[in-house]
């Protein structure tokens, strides 16, 4: 079995716990995922099976859609409800919807965002969360992220429900933290659910607690179909034979940017790049 399996992760398990569960059910080792989802978060995790584990990098950069609940009035060391409160304020009682909307606007568009201290970002070759757990203070450099939409969908102070559409690498915990700072109230995230990754939706995902081989087969998306977001070039039998041996072939037509999917008769042949008008295979999937 190979392809992309959308899984609906519950709160609690790590992303690697999900991978281990799929390995156990399918009795196969070649299983991975395309991007970590925090243990306290729920929702869509893309699991890759078999040879599709080689495709993980082509999904990790897809935009994400989250629903979340932030709680005003307290900051935590993790920026979410799993952490220890490090600051508190009652100023949230004076916050109105207009102030919330203005604060939310500061977190839209391309922004500089400081990753949470407890995150997978590497500092000096180590994961930030490892250093934080040892009590070491590490300064995480702010990075550019893009938030294409941030909507306030419900206000029941001190809780505020949000919908966020953003680029890969964006921390919703950091958005909550920074909105709290703008309001002068402090804030942290208490709920997080990933609804979409690119065109993949959690509505089509298999819940982790009902995984079985039949459900996995039914939900598993074939590699070629899963790569629909990449430009595609149809090749003939001669080109397939060349690509399968790692040889470049001429590209007919305009040159798309970035990785290109080479296919034939509904099969994934290779992921290639266009170099001087030639399709240069980078990852071959055709049987030699």
Strands 206-207 vs 3-9: parallel, antiparallel or unpaired: parallel
- Domain covering 3-62+199-223 in this structure, CATH number: 3.30.2350.10
For the chain, what is the mean pLDDT?
91
CA distance 205 to 33: 14
Q: Residue 120: its pLDDT value, please?
A: 57
What are the extents of the domains in the chain? 3-62+199-223, 64-192, 230-284
Q: What tokens appear for 42 in the block?
A: 């729920």
Report whether pLDDT(274) > 70. Answer: yes
* CATH dotted code for 64-192: 3.30.2350.10
Exposure string over 53-73, b if 16+ CB within 10 A, otherwise e = bbbbebbeebebbbbbbbbbb
The reported pLDDT for the residue numbered 134 is 47
Q: Helix and strand tally (H, E) in the chain?
A: 8, 19
130-156 pLDDT, tens digit each: 544 545 565 678 899 999 999 999 999
pLDDT of 33 > 80? The answer is: yes
pLDDT tens for 237-270 read 999 999 999 999 998 777 777 899 999 999 999 9
On the question of a common fold for 64-192 and 230-284, the answer reads no
CA gap 94, 74 in Å, rounded: 15
Residues 107 and 150 sit within 8 Å (Cβ to Cβ): yes
| Residue 29 C-alpha from the chain's centroid | 22
CATH 2.30.130.10 fits 230-284, yes or no: yes
| Residue 46 · residue 34 · CB < 8 Å | yes
In this prediction the pTM is 0.89
139: its two tokens: 């300064």
Kindly list the catalytic residues.
Answer: 38
């Amino acid at each position: 079995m190979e392809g992309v399996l959308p899984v609906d992760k519950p709160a609690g398990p790590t992303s690697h716990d999900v991978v281990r569960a799929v390995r156990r059910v399918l009795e196969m080792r070649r299983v991975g995922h395309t991007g970590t989802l925090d243990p306290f978060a729920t929702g869509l995790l893309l699991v890759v099976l078999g040879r599709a584990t080689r495709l993980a990098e082509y999904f990790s950069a897809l935009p994400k859609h989250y629903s979340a609940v932030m709680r005003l009035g307290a900051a935590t060391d993790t920026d979410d409800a799993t952490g220890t409160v490090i600051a508190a304020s009652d100023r949230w009682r004076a916050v109105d919807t207009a102030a919330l909307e203005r604060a939310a606007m500061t977190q839209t568009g391309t922004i500089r965002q400081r990753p949470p201290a407890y995150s997978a970002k590497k500092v000096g070759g180590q994961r930030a969360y490892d250093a934080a757990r040892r009590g070491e203070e590490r300064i995480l450099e702010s990075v550019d992220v893009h938030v294409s939409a941030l909507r306030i969908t419900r206000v029941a102070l001190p809780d505020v429900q949000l919908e966020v559409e953003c680029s890969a690498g964006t921390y919703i915990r950091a958005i909550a933290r920074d909105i709290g700072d703008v309001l002068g109230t402090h804030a942290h995230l208490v709920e997080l659910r990933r609804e979409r990754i690119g065109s993949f939706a959690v509505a089509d995902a298999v819940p982790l607690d009902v995984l079985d081989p039949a459900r996995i087969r039914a939900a598993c998306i074939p590699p070629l179909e899963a790569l629909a977001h990449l430009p595609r070039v149809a090749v003939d039998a001669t080109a397939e034979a060349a690509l399968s041996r790692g040889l470049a072939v001429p590209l007919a037509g305009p040159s798309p940017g970035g990785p290109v999917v080479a296919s034939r008769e509904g099969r994934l042949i290779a992921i290639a790049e266009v170099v001087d008008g030639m399709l240069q295979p980078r990852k071959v999937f055709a049987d030699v």
